[in-house]
A and B are shown apart, each in its own frame.
Chain A
Amino acid sequence: MSAERYSVLVIGSGVTALMAAVSLARRLPDVQVVRLDTGITDPVDDLIGACRPSIRTFHAALGIDEADVISRTRASYRLGTALSGWADREVFRGHGMYGEPLSGVAFHHLWLRAAPVEPYESFSINASLAARGRFAPPSSVPGSPMAGLDYGLQLDLPAYGQALRSLGRVAGVEEVQGAIASVQRTEDGCGIRALKLTDGRYLTADLYVDADGRGAIVRQSLTSKWVDWSNALLVDRLCVVRKEAPAHLVQDIVIASESGWRYESAAAQAWGYSSAHLNGQNGAIAFRQGRLEDPWRGNCIAIGSAAVSLEPSAATGLHTVCRHIERLIGCWPGHASQATEAEIAFYNRRTAMEADRMRDFIQLPYLLNERPEPFWRAAAAGPVSAELTRDLALFRERGRLATHDEDGFERDEWIASLIGFGIRPRHLDALAQELPMTRIQQRLEAIRL
């Protein structure tokens, strides 16, 4: 290894590792990237390819052409997630905007003031297209209803992984095949000194990026504390099947069943359930939801599901990967200088804030569900974070969504969840009440779809 270049070892065989390796090699100058292909893939990560709009930012940063991704990897467009059977009506959580504000008053306040009117979803271009199974690219013309559209992608992960791998080779990612026999720590125990492979070889690097999914033995060889969310998010078993022929679905659908849900996307099908409420099913993967307290420790950082493990009902898997990679690049220690304690603390703090917010976002529909079965009642009664408790109380009271410093979701998406599940604030917004009803109605008329 040359003394000049900063070396990084990315551990993993799945899409997370491939995404990380190619990003680091392509976006950072003077970095030598080696990927250890362990041959083990995480069964959850590598079959569910639902991506939020962050995947497009990820592609743009790498200079990857989206049309190219779509044609080469059988990807399709994704407008949002529909939750079916959770309440007495379907709830759609779309990307993009739900109507523009008027005189600084957020759209949902206008909608609440004008009630009763058409359902909230009627004012989302994403929801309207998803209901018709259609897609069109967003418009750049301001004021056009299509201007508020936003989308993610539905990736066929095996094909996508192949494409990333070729791209990585071109970008200079060196691949090593091998299985880890042992992890050697530095003398103080706070860092990794080398990985010993089963064939006797040693691998060393300045920084170790553990992208090996929920197993993540490299990062776990250092002290790590797991923050467990299994009391709040009860689903702990998954069966995932890849669809050989992708369906024409522009949304994910999560259909509630007795002790969990069935998940349908263009590229995969899955069943998630709680093992406490349903006996074991053949082929089910056990997993636990939660996060590492400090994903970055010393010279080793866990990204993706090695750091944050969540069920796939809100398409947070690859979203998390994109955000972790972006944050890692933003905090890149680079060159000769090591990351300082303050930088590592910053990375860990922001990653934790973001993950906790994701947990809250996923838990929200469980808390608001209207089903009678024991699983659903237990899910509704689960422990709720202080932040979500406060946010819910404030929304119920005033229809106001509090702002958080690190939030991986759009405000409109939170509001669509809250309103979709039938929360109607006790008090109308005073500013909305001051607006003449005719102006509100004109605004609704202009964007009704």
Chain B
Amino acid sequence: MNVPRIKVVVVGGGTAGWMTASALAHILPSICSVVLVESEAIGIVGVGEATLPHIRAFNERLGIDERDFLRATFATYKLGIEFVDWARIGDRYMHPFGSSGRGVGGVGFHHFWNRARQLGLDAGHYGDYSISVAMGRRNRFAPPAPASSGDGLGAYNYAYQFDASCFAAYLRRIAEKSGVSRIEGRIVTVSQDGTSGDIRAVKLEDRREVTGDLFIDASGFRSLLLGETLGEPFDDWSHWLPCDRAVAMPCATTGPLSPFTSAIAMEAGWRWRIPLQHRTGNGYVHSSAFVDEQTAMDRLVAAVEGPALASPRTLRFKAGRRQRSWVRNCIAIGLSSGFLEPLESTSIYLIQVAITALLELFPQQAISKEVRDEFNDLMGVEYDRVRDFLILHYHATERRDTPFWNYVGNMPIPDSLAEKIALFEARGRVEPYARGLFLEPSWLAVYLGQNVVPRDYDRRADGMPAAGLVAALARMRDEISVAVERMPHHADSLQ
């Protein structure tokens, strides 16, 4: 092609930076050239160790071999997230990557389950009808059959838990093989074009200058280009998501290797537990308004299951997002465009959707307003919908045992979420989306897992006689039990 390639400069070499650089270089090799500027002096945050199933599509697109990837990043399989002590102390449920039960004639299973409860039948927990939950409880894992899709009882999906710094290094190898050049250095200034305001170059400590057509801000919380240089305003969501600190500390794994991430509610936030092949990641996400850092560290140290493998370190953040992610010729991807706590493992997903949108909208000539607007609209919907889903976890609680839980349980919530909850509480309806993350199965898992049970159900569920309902529920539980018993243990499936 004789058209000159678009020069993309990626600022930052964390997960967001290397994911973007490798994807652009691998997928649009004749359209763009990619330079990545990073400084070894700046650590990577890498809290996004737990992912969503979408990551598999990303890996596949980059031609990554699953076995090789699992080895290189000490990855484990992930079937969902287990939530402990959220609605009430002692509660436990899982948000699996898959649905629960089998509906009939277009009526969702949860309506039949709710009817059984209202009839006083022993319907058990909603999660008892999910194969992923059963696999998680018994620490089993087997990849889903290739043909299993749709809403069958045997259909499920999976993601990974991995060492984020190994993942960044792994992608760096792919990126460099695809022609990405890496520049080591600390950026001291950013220069803009005098008339257009576009970013022209970043200047490094050693006075080198890196120019480009398109700049990807993957600088993390600092938001060097979008926030500091272009001054894009930040919408603060911390009144809804008050957690602003995390203390993180890995420990040795004791006991069987679980195929899920755990999120355990604490006095002023929650604690993650992410099992990897070589260690278990732990962290206490908390609100500095409700607990001091030292206490948070002490609580984390006391709670982890095995010997500590490092001393705790602190991360600071604020929930919210920049109003736009793409401004002028700068596209912020990852934490530089917004932050939502890792409660539902969305950090890497949000990076990935930004990359997908960028690939689909990649500008080859002047950047048009239409393209920027579309990108910003897509990302806005993603962030807003994830935000609402996260707030639900905090708000749908009966806990009032600490000032933190008292605050989140009583705080005003966004209208968009209040409408969803009111709709669900009446008769178990979940508003369908054509865009954005977290579809009906996810909302159902969290609502029902946190004891938000609709007052009524879809009356079409009355079409099944009560005796038939009892038999159908028992059959589903048996079917799951038989299927899971045949599966290998998670640890063995990684061999």
Residues on A lying within 8 angstroms of B by beta carbon are: 6, 27-30, 61, 329-335, 337, 339-343, 345-346, 350, 390, 393-394, 396-398, 400, 402-407, 427-431, 433-434
| B325-340 vs A, Cβ < 8 Å mask (1 yes, 0 no) | 0000000000000000
Known: A335-B456, A434-B30. A429 touches B360 (CB 8 A): yes
Known: A405-B433, A431-B27, A434-B29. A334 touches B374 (CB 8 A): no
Known: A400-B361, A402-B374, A434-B29. A332 touches B423 (CB 8 A): no
CB pair B370–A394 under 8 Å, yes or no, is yes
Chain A residues with CB under 8 Å of B425's CB are 342
Known: A402-B374, A433-B31. A345 touches B361 (CB 8 A): no
Point out which of B105, B361, B431 has the most chain A C-beta atoms below 10 A from its C-beta.
Answer: B361
Chain B residues with CB under 8 Å of A337's CB are 426-427, 455-456
Chain B residues with CB under 8 Å of A434's CB are 27-31
Cβ of B420 to closest chain A Cβ, rounded Å: 9
Known: A27-B460, A28-B459, A345-B419. A340 touches B426 (CB 8 A): yes
Distance A218 CA – B232 CA, assembled complex (angstroms): 52
CB pair B459–A405 under 8 Å, yes or no, is no
Chain B residues with CB under 8 Å of A406's CB are 434
Chain B residues with CB under 8 Å of A390's CB are 370, 373
CB pair A335–B374 under 8 Å, yes or no, is no
CB pair A343–B426 under 8 Å, yes or no, is yes
In this complex, what residue of B is CB-closest to A390?
Answer: B373
Point out which of B106, B364, B373, B427 has the most chain A C-beta atoms below 10 A from its C-beta.
Answer: B427
CB pair A29–B463 under 8 Å, yes or no, is yes
CB pair A430–B364 under 8 Å, yes or no, is yes
| B48-62 vs A, Cβ < 8 Å mask (1 yes, 0 no) | 000000000000000
Chain A residues with CB under 8 Å of B458's CB are 330, 332, 334
Known: A332-B460, A346-B423. A400 touches B360 (CB 8 A): yes
Chain A residues with CB under 8 Å of B434's CB are 403-407
CB pair B28–A343 under 8 Å, yes or no, is no
User: Is B422 an interface position by the 8 A CB rule?
Assistant: yes
Known: A29-B459, A398-B370, A431-B27. A340 touches B422 (CB 8 A): yes
CB pair B374–A400 under 8 Å, yes or no, is yes
Chain A residues with CB under 8 Å of B370's CB are 390, 393-394, 396-398
Distance A403 CA – B31 CA, assembled complex (angstroms): 26
User: Is B359 an interface position by the 8 A CB rule?
Assistant: yes
Distance A342 CA – B30 CA, assembled complex (angstroms): 51
Distance A164 CA – B363 CA, assembled complex (angstroms): 54
User: Is B432 an interface position by the 8 A CB rule?
Assistant: yes
CB pair B28–A427 under 8 Å, yes or no, is no
Chain A residues with CB under 8 Å of B361's CB are 398, 400
Distance A390 CA – B372 CA, assembled complex (angstroms): 12
CB pair B435–A403 under 8 Å, yes or no, is yes
Chain B residues with CB under 8 Å of A400's CB are 360-361, 374
Cβ of B7 to closest chain A Cβ, rounded Å: 14
Distance A345 CA – B365 CA, assembled complex (angstroms): 44
User: Is B362 an interface position by the 8 A CB rule?
Assistant: yes
Chain A residues with CB under 8 Å of B377's CB are 402
